[in-house]
Structures are given as C-alpha cells and as structure tokens.
Amino acid sequence: MPGKSVKAAVRTLQKTRNAARGALLWGYEQRLAREVRTHGKLPAHLGLILDGNRRFARAAGLQRELGHSFGADKAHEVLQWCLELGIPSATIWVLSTDNKGRDPQELAHILGLLEREARQLAVDPRIHNNRVRVRAIGQHDNFPPQVLAALKDLEETTAHYTGMRLNIAVGYGGREEIVDAVRASLRAQAAQGRTLEEVAATFGPADIGAHLYSPDIPDPDFIIRTSGEIRLSGFMLWQSVYSEYYFCDVYWPGFRRVDFLRAMRDFQDRERRFGK
C-alpha cells in the first residue's frame, strides 16, 4: 500500500509540474504576442519552408504519410497566425521539384493531401472573410487531373480578392522558376519582333523579375525554415537575395505559435541593410 501511495503522489506531482509549465508557456506566448503587435514591424512577404514532416513521423513512431497529414494541418494553423498579425503576403513551400523522385506511394499521398487542402481552402470562411487571394506556383504539368482541377478552382474562386496574398509553392524549384522566367521573357520579346541580338543587348534583371511566378508581390523579406536544416534548398532563389533567414530546430508539424512569435520578434530586432 505505501508503494501505491508513493506512486500516486509522484503522478500528482508530475501533473502539477506539467500544468505549471503549460501555464508558464501560455503566459510567455501571450507576452510575446503583445510585444510583436506593439512593435508593429512585420514582414511584407513571409516565406515558409515546411520541412521535417517525415522525421516528425519517424520520431513519433508513425507512418511517414501521417507526418505529411499533420504537416497539412499545421499549415492551416500558421495561416491563422499570419491573418491575426496582418501579414500581407506569404509563400509556403509544400512540394519541391526534387521531391518528384520520392516513393510513388508517398508522392501520391502528398498530392492527395494537396487536392484535399485546395478544396477545403476554396470554401474556408477565413479565406473569404479576409479576402485572401491564393495562387499555386510551380510546375504542375505532371499532376493528376483532379489535383489540377482543385488548384484551378481555388485560384479562380479567390482571384478577385484584394486581401492577403497566399502562394502555395508546389512542384516548385528556384532554378526552374528562373529558367521559366527567362524563357517567358524571350518569347515575349520575340513576339514583339525583336532579334536575339537586340534582346541580349538590353536584357537585365527586370526582364526576369517581370516573368517570375508571382511578379506582383514583393520579394520575401523574411524566410523561416523548420527542422534544423540551415539551407534554402532552392526556395525563391531570385527573390531571396536580400531576405532575412530564420532556422528553427522543431519539425514542421511540431511548429508552435510560440515558435512563430519568436521568429517574428527576431525579425523585428534585425536591421535590414540590402547589401549596403
């Protein structure tokens, strides 16, 4: 009996400690939120590299596909956090061109999630109440028809909105975007009757910038990558030349609001110099 009493007391103590930690974390999160809102300086365009879904699942002893499912749910949460702060534009990198070589079953699951999420966003009250314009950027030629249809419907449903701009980078690669922009620029100038020699004589950065996937929103001034990897892996290579970076150790599905707010406060403490 004494042994059981001791175990019960230990469990009670552990619960009390966990509750205390939770209360402290909640209080810290609320203080961070006030500081971020009071400061006022926020990214005009936030880039998010959603990394660590599979490792999250592995660490939790789950099937890797569930990591992607949890990651999709987390993206909905982060969208809400962006809306709460009033961030004007965000680009979330969901699937890279490099990921096309993954296991077919895993890739099919990711594309299925993409279709599901696109259809949910098309009817999400937050999208319509906040007039969020959503666009899928990347190379989608090899996507299944039902996925393409869902993305097209989402884009058309929100095309007239003038609120937050949300880019979903899927089938996306930074090098591929630059190549596509150069091709588009050359074709446009050829259509105007210009020769290759004439184009080469005046070709400059603006010719590429005007034909990127989303030329009508500013370059990302802040990019967050989760999972502890310290690299861009090709994310918005052209646009990120003067971006500020923040690398977070937590896997994407475990990314908390307090992690998000810490990143925002870190951005607010930085002085951007644009290479000067």
The residues assigned a catalytic role are: 51, 99
Count of other CB atoms within 10 angstroms of residue 242: 13
Strands ordered across the beta sheet of 89-96: 133-137, 165-172, 89-96, 45-49, 222-225, 244-247
Judge whether 272 is annotated as a binding position. no
Count of other CB atoms within 10 angstroms of residue 42: 18
Cβ-contact 48, 224 below 8 angstroms: yes
In the block, tokens 């004589």 appear at: 201
Judge whether 171 is annotated as a binding position. no
Judge whether 197 is annotated as a binding position. no
Judge whether 55 is annotated as a binding position. yes
Give the residue among 233, 4, 255, 266 at the shortest CA–CA distance from 99.
Answer: 233
Count of other CB atoms within 10 angstroms of residue 181: 19
User: Where are any strands of DSSP class E within the chain?
Assistant: 45-49, 89-96, 133-137, 165-172, 222-225, 244-247
Judge whether 52 is annotated as a binding position. yes
Judge whether 231 is annotated as a binding position. yes
Judge whether 97 is annotated as a binding position. yes
- The CA distance from 127 to 70, in Å, is 21
H or E element that contains 84: helix 64-85
Judge whether 235 is annotated as a binding position. no
Count of other CB atoms within 10 angstroms of residue 162: 8
Give the residue among 157, 205, 200, 155 at the shortest CA–CA distance from 178.
Answer: 205
Judge whether 51 is annotated as a binding position. yes
How many Cα neighbours within 13 Å face the side chain of 255? 33
Judge whether 256 is annotated as a binding position. no
Judge whether 124 is annotated as a binding position. no
Q: Return binding residues.
A: 51-56, 64, 68, 96-98, 102, 225, 231-233, 244
Q: Return binding residues for substrate.
A: 52-56, 64, 68, 96-98, 102, 225, 231-233
Q: Return binding residues for Mg(2+).
A: 51, 244
